[in-house]
Amino acid sequence: MSTRVGFVGLGNIGKPMALRLAAAEGIELTVYDVAPDPVAELEKAGARAADSVAALAGRVVVICVMVRDDDQVRDVLGEVLGVAGDGQTVVIHSTVAPGTPAELADTAARHGVKVLDAPVSGGAMGAADGTLAIMVGGSDEAFSAARPALEAMGSLVTHAGPIGAGTRFKLARNMMHFVSFTAATEAQRLAEAAGLDLVELGKVVRHTDAITGGPGAIMHRATTAPIDPDDFWYGVFSHVTALGEKDLTFAIELADQLDVDVPLAREALDRLGKGLGL
């Protein structure tokens, strides 16, 4: 049997997500957006268009929401609940505040509607080729209802835990993402002061991260607790720390010579071993 799915919010990431749903077997898709052009594109791809969120909600059992912010998510859910039937599941793909999913789930439950928070990682490119990571919080029942749609849009679908867990997962992931970006800007300043080609440096970083896994290469333990010396990871992370402290010391020495401020590098030198559990 087909799963009747609605999609609200056809922006840079929402539109390619919806296009994946339109192309998937076993999905009957209805879409809504305030902008007419992406709706027309989805219609050409086989989706039905709705004139309003309420009209969409009246046709489907799973409603995916990818709008701008918490207020827009609340507005969409309010329209859904005005016509909702028991057993519907609303899937919030927008990245919202940590407390918003539980708040919305409580409100929806009074109308017999289940809510999942399911933010995504992978950007527009991952949305277009169906390789998004989707991090889901909510009940097993709601996850099961939405799973066909989720698996049509992402190649890694993780049921992270109860409502709110998906959002917490995404915030932890993006904290690392943007801290890493900030570290990259620091490295660029150092490289520029040293007379290096920043474009070539970027090529080297992307090349080696694709081989080693980048920051995710250290993320294999199930805990951040201190590591027992007999643990396998003690030897691995001792080696990582020794290399890291050596290279960070040399980089900070170069930064001092070139009068470049590198506060993140200094923090990393102090925190690396402790952070790894040594």
CATH classification of the domain holding 139: 3.40.50.720
Residues 180-211: tens digit of each pLDDT: 999 999 999 999 999 999 999 999 999 999 99
CATH classification of the domain holding 216: 1.10.1040.10
Q: 33-36: list long-range contacts, CB under 8 Å, 24+ apart.
A: 33/8, 33/9, 35/10
| pLDDT value of residue 96 | 97
Residues 103-159: tens digit of each pLDDT: 999 999 999 999 999 999 999 999 999 999 999 999 999 999 999 999 999 999 999
Q: Which residue type is seen at 123? A: G
Do residues 138 and 263 both lie within one domain? no
Helix axes 100-109, 70-81, angle to 10 degrees: 10
CB 116 within 8 A of CB 166: yes
Burial classification of residue 105, based on how many CB atoms lie within 10 Å of its CB (0-12 exposed, 13-18 middle, 19 or more buried):
buried
Residues 243-277: tens digit of each pLDDT: 999 999 999 999 999 999 999 999 999 999 999 99
What is the total count of domains within the chain?
2
Nearest of 169, 177, 75 to residue 117 by alpha carbon: 169
Do residues 240 and 151 both lie within one domain? no
For the chain, state the CA radius of gyration.
Answer: 23
Question: Of these residues, 15, 170, 203, 246, which one is catalytic?
Answer: 170
| pLDDT value of residue 65 | 98
Cα–Cα dist 272/197, whole Å:
28
Domain end call among 163, 182, 201:
163
44 is catalytic: no
Tell me what percent of the residues of the chain surpass a pLDDT of 90. Answer: 98
| pLDDT value of residue 86 | 82
Residues 216-236: tens digit of each pLDDT: 999 999 999 999 999 999 999
Q: Containing domain of residue 51, as a range?
A: 3-163
Average pLDDT over residues 44-72: 97
End-to-end Cα separation, the chain, in angstroms: 53
| pLDDT value of residue 153 | 98
